[in-house]
Structure 1
Amino acid sequence: MNGYEMDELRIALALTPGVGGATALRVLKRNAELGRTPNEFFALSARELQEQYGLREKSASAIAASERLRPLVDETIGRLSEKPVQLVFLGEPGYPNRLAEFSRKPPPMLWLYGNTMVLSGATFAVLGSRDVDKRAADEIERQAERGVLEAKSLVTSANSPAYQRAAVVPLRWGSPRVLVLDRGLFSALGPDLTDEPFRAARLWRFQFDPQTDLVVTEHRPHDGFCRGHNARRDAAVVGLADEIVAVQPRAGGNVERLVGQAQDAGRRVRVIRLD
């Protein structure tokens, strides 16, 4: 790979199949220790990558063969260059402190799109079980509105009835949201990153507004949804929130587990039972 700058190295690593965020972070730290340039790094063989970086054979082979990724890297950089998108790694200044402090295994890598200043103020999340009924959904909406009117920013997502019911509330009031995705930016927001991610939101706002809202995802921009993404998304939603409101959590379910984790982390938690 020739002519790569440091920012391009970061994106190239993030896009390489078989190289997760933890591996990319290890490479970046090791390069800094060695004073190695991106071009020097990509000139290494798979064996040298294994020996000098402690990489597994699969990851080392993927990096050594990453010349074929150049078109994808160039295309991704071109599409993101005009957008307020940041790629941040755990331990870097732009990585959200709340999430780093909350999670036992924080995502090593995050893509942030939009208004990162939202995280400078008070945040809250309203959670409901996946099979939320009408009463619980109505209560989720009420709790979301209560938080918004208290000048807090809602942390939510877009791919469950409970999250969607909460996510439209800030749109009605012109307030900021933090949307945590279970897929990549392009998969959720379209090729130009201008689509609201679900139909009910598009009724309130024609296009996604990165000047107001922030999107957070640990997934590569082109990645679709995969099994297992839900749990990591939910943990990130809670991790980014100062206050968590859980509406009718199912006994033994993921929401109840996250409530316990939030309490252990010293977050403010309210549990609302409708029985």
Structure 2
Amino acid sequence: MDALTASMALLRLEGLGPARYWQLLEHFGSPDRALLQFPPTLLSKLPPRAQSQWRDCCRLGLQSELLEWVAAERARCAQIGVQLLYHGDAGFPNLLAEISRPPPILYVRGEAAALTLPQIAIVGARRATTSGLDNARSFAMELAGSGFAITSGLALGVDAAAHQGALRGQGATIAVLGSGVDSVYPRQNRALAEEILSAGGAIVSELPLGSSAEAKNFPRRNRIISGLSMGVLLVEAAMRSGSLITARLALEQNREVLAIPGSIHNPMARGCHHLIREGATLVETSADIAGQLGGLLAEPADSEPLSNTLLDNQQLSVLLALQGGPRSIEQLAVDTGEPAGELMALLLQMELLELLEQLPGGYQLTAQGAACCLQKEGVAT
């Protein structure tokens, strides 16, 4: 029996759940051994139906109700194009695998490779203000344009705005559900879910097909959102909200937590202000996020220098404009002819590549950026 089948069978047992799954795995070392050698003391704590299912599995094997369900679930996934990722697979997201007791299995619609991209989670209130929704879209658009995948929960409000912004930035976006991946919730965002898939993103859940969106599922969903991401950006949130839970989970998972401040008269800003007082990074622009997370994306010191072929004409025009010294964004816009929105995304991307760095009021070349300029000049001569 392969590990995926055994894991699905274990998780199908009523009353088991991910926590007991990991206890079994820590004791037995593999899901197939855990299933076949299920400890009697734990079995007695499960509901009578789960006990009966396990005994039938041991007696009937592949003809048992439990393993027949697994076979049907896997066949259904294959039929509708859902990929199953077992936590021990090479394709399982590395950052998510590092958290305490990660989801044993992920159901993925769309591009599973999107889960390996560097991700920033953007979360916030369902009843966000117009300003909050605008912030979610603009931050997501700029970050997606600079190479980050945007991860959120496909909820109404800030989540949906973040996914929309990522799509506008022509980047990948990942929606993590508190329901099955074939049961998109809420209904109002089903069209958005299809846009995410069409644009090369992914829809993810740890729940079996057909699972409905129940309140108990969302804390589990939130730990996946933060676990997939390098950092979590809180846009707007009341003091009691699922978004604050996501931020606290991010702290427990040793992720960066960032928050956008708001008006003291806006109750949706109180959650952000609370996090900032507790040590979250205050951000006002996407460049602030680059400064906080850019080092995590930097190439190792022993990697090869940036190749000439990796510089496109837009990047080169910015480098050449900075050769004479620091320049403001306004000056760079005049020098390069780039629209303001595209220029901001370009500057963020180049900062992440360590070609330039931000100063008060402008930007200047780094040593690597200056070296690239010299390389280009050498090619030209």
User: Is the TM-score greater than 0.5?
Assistant: yes
Q: Which residue of 2 aligns with 1:85?
A: 83
Instruction: Give the counterpart of 2:238 among 232, 237, 250.
Output: 250
Q: Partner letter of residue 106 of structure 1?
A: P
Deviation at 1:31, TM superposition (A): 6.5
Instruction: Give the counterpart of 1:144 among 123, 140, 144.
Output: 140
Report the CA distance shift for 1:133/1:71 in structure 2 as closer, same or farther (over 3 A).
same
In structure 1, runs of 5+ residues without a counterpart are: 42-47, 190-196
Structure richer in helix, relative to its length = 2
Q: Which residue of 2 aligns with 1:161?
A: 157
Aligned residue pairs, count: 253
Deviation at 1:63, TM superposition (A): 1.8
Separation (CA, whole Å) in 1 of partners of 2:193 and 2:85: 29
Secondary structure of 1:18's counterpart equals coil
Q: Taking structure 2 as the reference length, what is the TM-score of the superposition?
A: 0.55
Separation (CA, whole Å) in 2 of partners of 1:204 and 1:88: 23
Report the CA distance shift for 1:264/1:95 in structure 2 as closer, same or farther (over 3 A).
same
Q: Which residue of 1 aligns with 2:55?
A: 64
Report the CA distance shift for 1:101/1:49 in structure 2 as closer, same or farther (over 3 A).
closer
Bigger mean CA offset, 172-181 vs 108-117: 108-117
Instruction: Give the counterpart of 1:130 among 126, 147, 151.
Output: 126
Report the CA distance shift for 1:121/1:17 in structure 2 as closer, same or farther (over 3 A).
same
1:273 aligns with 2:261: yes
Q: Taking structure 1 as the reference length, what is the TM-score of the superposition?
A: 0.73
Alignment RMSD, CA only?
A: 3.6
Bigger mean CA offset, 241-250 vs 148-157: 241-250
Q: Partner letter of residue 258 of structure 2?
A: R
Q: Which residue of 1 aligns with 2:270?
A: none
Q: Which residue of 1 aligns with 2:210?
A: 222
Alpha-carbon contact 1:259-1:269 (below 8 Å) kept: yes
**What percentage of aligned pairs have identical amino acids?**
20
Deviation at 1:208, TM superposition (A): 3.3
Deviation at 1:182, TM superposition (A): 0.2
Separation (CA, whole Å) in 2 of partners of 1:245 and 1:203: 21
In structure 2, runs of 5+ residues without a counterpart are: 58-63, 264-381
Separation (CA, whole Å) in 1 of partners of 2:225 and 2:242: 12
Secondary structure of 1:171's counterpart equals helix
Alpha-carbon contact 1:22-1:108 (below 8 Å) kept: no
Separation (CA, whole Å) in 1 of partners of 2:196 and 2:239: 38
Report the CA distance shift for 1:220/1:273 in structure 2 as closer, same or farther (over 3 A).
same
* 1:11-64 Cα deviation digits (max 9, x unpaired): 3333343332344455567666798698xx3xxxxxx7433x843442443322
Bigger mean CA offset, 199-208 vs 213-222: 199-208
Alpha-carbon contact 2:158-2:235 (below 8 Å) kept: no
Report the CA distance shift for 1:207/1:71 in structure 2 as closer, same or farther (over 3 A).
farther
**Which has the higher Rg, Structure 1 or Structure 2?**
2
Q: Partner letter of residue 218 of structure 1?
A: E
